[in-house]
A = this chain, B = another copy of it.
Amino acid sequence: MRIVVIGGDGYCGWATALHLAARGHDVVIADNFVRRRWDRKLGVSSLTPIRTLATRLRAWERSGGRHIEFARCDVTQYEALKELFGRVRPDAIVHFGQQRSAPFSMIDRDAAALTLVNNTIGNLNVLWAMREVVPEAHLVKLGTMGEYGTPNIDIEEGFINIEHKGRRDRLPFPKQPGSFYHLTKVSDSDHIYFACRAWGVRATDLNQGVVYGLTTEETALAPELINRLDYDGVYGTVLNRFCIEAALGHPLTVYGQGGQTRTFIDIRDTARCIALAIEFPADHGEFRVFNQFTEIFSVLELAHRVERVAQRLGLEPTVAHVENPRVEREAHYYSSTNEHLLSLGLEPRLLDDGTITELIETAGRYAARIDRAQIAARVQWSDRKSHKPQKTPRAASA
């Protein structure tokens, strides 16, 4: 199939673009490199020395990989996006091209507004360009499990059967996003569902868990194909960050109690899930939601897991509970289903000590590239520390 991967220069996008090409698809990476610019602006950089996209693509072809085309494109520029879709006429569009950090979106008003415009206008443009140019294409959009928040009931895949006052309906699962970034993902889902109902767009919304890992079968083919790995307080996500901290002898920084329970997925499974969504597409007018994760862990559980592996590697890790910069529940019920992707054939690659070992060893190899001052989470969700988060709405306010 012809596939446009928007944001194909990023962490998930790069791994996915190569995997799709390896499966014989004709891939066009669309990217505007804004993430690399944001890194420079924030003074952070990938732990691993990532190459320019041009170098990456040459190395991929030298390694025998199927040709991948590159189109410089900013999704917030509507005419350029429409031109791209019209020229490529994709069968599927994979949309990763978003500002993906919750802390970034909480820095200040400008960062929140940038996140909103980049993500929500970008997604709106993708939908309109599909309607106007490629109405038969299938949209595969990356959402996040964080859209759901941490409800006290089991999380379903996008929709829930509700019985209320003697009547029933199947309705969108209630969302409780926890940052301006997460709010954009919820809004994207709502927009896509509307486009499916109103225009007959076919779409798969992938609510992804926290992604971990570095090397995939494809990025392993040449050193220039190495993926990015973020460890800083803005872009570093929890498991990757713990492994890097362990390698450096830095305490594993658990936010608050660490009872925050989240879903996780290996980056190799990210790429495979997206291939499954593309190869078993949604019907016309269908809005499918898949919860894209393989396992559920609490943050503290992961810290102790990394601690044990690090000890076996001869390191002396410690676990530190630092003040939680976020407003979130630190002890809560959590359960979610992920049956749709399993039923399409996903065989989860569960977290094993080998993956943790690889991450710790990679961090050790590139330790000289690390700016320790960037590890701490400095973006605060709220300056009202006395404020009790997640207040339950009163049954009747009056």
Contact = CB atoms under 8 A, between A and B. Distances in A.
Interface string A193-237: 110111110000000000000000000000000000000000000
A312 interface: no
Interface stretch (A53-61, A338-346, A362-370): A338-346
A393 B162 contact: no
Interface in A52-110: 78, 108-110
Interface size class of A (residues with CB under 8 A): 35 or more
Interface string A155-176: 0001110111101111111111
A162 B160 contact: yes
A196 B391 contact: yes
A322 interface: no
A387 B200 contact: yes
B169 A285 contact: no
Interface centre among A159, A171, A190 (most CB of B within 10 A): A171
B170 A153 contact: no
Contacts of A282: 397
5 contacts: A117-B117, A117-B121, A172-B174, A177-B190, A179-B194
A382 B168 CA distance: 29
Interface in A329-350: 333, 339-341, 343-344
Contact of A391 (B116, B153, B285, B391): B285
Contact of A197 (B78, B124, B327, B395): B327
A307 B175 CA distance: 43
B167 A398 contact: no
Contact of A384 (B110, B200, B290): B200
A162 B165 contact: no
A127 to B, nearest CB: 9
A268 interface: no
Given A153-B165, A187-B183, A286-B397, A391 B178 contact: no
A394 B112 CA distance: 35
A113 interface: yes
Interface in A18-77: none
Given A153-B169, A177-B194, A199-B387, 9 more contacts: A78-B110, A109-B128, A151-B169, A153-B163, A153-B165, A163-B163, A170-B393, A172-B175, A290-B397
A152 B177 contact: no
5 smallest CB-CB distances across A and B, nearest first, come from A171-B174, A152-B169, A343-B398, A109-B128, A200-B387
Nearest to A285: B391
A193 to B, nearest CB: 8
A340 B397 contact: yes
Contacts of A288: 393, 397
A131 B30 CA distance: 37
A249 interface: no
Contact of A394 (B153, B174, B194, B286): B286
B183 A176 contact: no
Contacts of A392: 170
A242 interface: no
Contacts of A164: 153-154, 160, 162
Given A168-B153, A389-B198, A396 B339 contact: yes
Nearest to A128: B109
A153 to B, nearest CB: 4
Given A112-B124, A162-B153, A393-B170, A198 B340 contact: no
A159 B393 contact: yes
A389 B128 CA distance: 18
B176 A384 contact: no
A296 to B, nearest CB: 16
A116 B109 contact: no
Contact of A390 (B172, B197, B343): B197
